[in-house]
Amino acid sequence: MRHLKTLQCIADVAASGSIRQSAARLAITPSALTRKIQDFESELGTPIFERMPQGMRLNAAGELVLRHIHAQLADFERLRSQLADLSGVRRGHVTIAASQAFAHGLIPQEIATYRAQHPLVSFSVLVRDHIHAVSAVAGFEADVALVIAPPPAPEFQPLLILHQPLCALMSKDHPLAAAATIRLRECLQYPIAMPGPTLAIRHLLQAALVRLGLPVHTVVESDSFEVLRSYASGENIISFQIRAGVPQVSGNLVAREIDQRDLPPTQLVLGQLRGRSLSVAASKFVDQISSSLHSRYGDGRTG
């Protein structure tokens, strides 16, 4: 246990870059924290931090050590979760990195469902775009990630893949709201609330818009889906979202699928770090959310 405490201290200093800040957070004195790190470096036989005027920064050896620390702490959390399950009480902590599209509806609903059965399990939700969500899994910041169109990454192992249509979001009284499916060129006849460039949906739209070669009347652009939905709901404006990202309770908002001749379905992926053994709590949450997504949207396959 003492060894794990030291590893946690090193990980905290690596994240904060400051002995003083980490010492305050860990409730020990700065001198005691410095001794812990120095003793670890002495035992290891090499320094792992560069001491700089602006703070502490990991060197190349430290980056390797930090990856080992994350793996050790993750393994220990998995062990604690397994021991709790042996006693018949599920405990643990699950961290999920999720695209913003799922942060205000799908993920909170799934967590509430899980905690209704297992109230001693806690959660952290990291709202990340598709690139940074995969990085969070690779860096042991998150157990799993739920993302739209993740970039190719050999370390990212898909657990479930769903093919999702892109939808146009608009108010219920919008002229296009009566159609079951609509063409993208029809959407472009109206003002557009455009997803920002960090969002995966923006890249999908951009490729389709280049093919069509039609002008776009963008009246607002935002990296916040909440902002985009607000504009689409309150004005005669169209925005975009994948089907699974549309809130189940949407008030004045409706979603209409865009014809697949204009925009083919994209991938919604639930994944983890390849080769990592998840804790019991995380593994069971993956089972639950996979089953829920598959039953709602179908067309799923496991990785």
Check which CATH number belongs to the domain holding 15 and give it.
1.10.10.10
Range of the domain at 96: 91-162+267-301
Tell whether 70 is covered by a domain: no
Do 45 and 175 share a domain, yes or no?
Answer: no
Tell whether 10 is covered by a domain: yes
Do 171 and 247 share a domain, yes or no?
Answer: yes
When pLDDT is averaged across residues 109-113 and rounded to a whole number, the result is 95
* 15-29, 157-171, 179-193: the lowest-pLDDT one: 15-29
What is the separation of C-alpha 252 from the centre of its chain, rounded to a whole number of angstroms?
27
Beta bridge partners of 55: 52
Beta bridge partners of 274: none
Do 133 and 60 share a domain, yes or no?
Answer: no
- Strand-by-strand arrangement of the 181-182 sheet: 181-182, 253-258, 166-171, 239-242
Do 22 and 147 share a domain, yes or no?
Answer: no
Beta bridge partners of 238: 192
Do 16 and 145 share a domain, yes or no?
Answer: no
Is residue 116 predicted with pLDDT exceeding 80?
yes
Do 191 and 255 share a domain, yes or no?
Answer: yes
Is residue 225 predicted with pLDDT exceeding 70?
yes
Q: 79-97 pLDDT, tens per residue?
A: 776 676 655 546 788 999 9
Do 113 and 156 share a domain, yes or no?
Answer: yes
Do 238 and 278 share a domain, yes or no?
Answer: no
Please report, for the domain that includes residue 214, its CATH number: 3.40.190.290
> Does the predicted TM-score (pTM) go above 0.75?
no
Do 149 and 272 share a domain, yes or no?
Answer: yes
Classify residue 185 as left (phi > 0), alpha (psi -120 to 50) or beta.
alpha
Tell whether 238 is covered by a domain: yes
Do 176 and 40 share a domain, yes or no?
Answer: no
Our count of domains for the chain comes to: 3
What is the separation of C-alpha 287 from the centre of its chain, rounded to a whole number of angstroms?
17
Distance, first Cα to last Cα, the chain: 35
Tell whether 126 is covered by a domain: yes
Tell whether 74 is covered by a domain: no
